[in-house]
Structure 1
Amino acid sequence: MFEIFRAKGGGYFWHLKAGNGEKLCHSEVYTTKQAAQAGIEAVKRIAPGAPVYDRA
């Protein structure tokens, strides 16, 4: 699930959480809530087809 938060210094950011509640990743701070929501939509759209590069 995605959760949107208000940043202390202003703006908004989101966390992507697993089913067990563990935070998987977080976003940058966006200036508006709408921009944060657009970031979530971009991740939803792009992530399923994103390649994985093993650089280990």
Structure 2
Amino acid sequence: MRHFYRGDGAPPPPWPLRRAVMAAKRRAMEDFCERWESGGAGVRQWRRRTAGTAGRPE
């Protein structure tokens, strides 16, 4: 990930901030899927993704 951020010369954002932004995006996507098809495949997939990344270190 550091190579990605080095492209513009700026340091990467702190991990807690990146993790919070990713979590918010996952929640938003899960909410969208829930509105589209309550309890559907999309909802289940976003829940699996959230569970799989919840404790991931940087």
Q: TM-score, normalised by structure 2?
A: 0.38
Q: Higher helix share goes to which structure? A: 2
Q: Higher strand share goes to which structure? A: 1
Q: TM-score, normalised by structure 1?
A: 0.39
Max Rg structure: 2
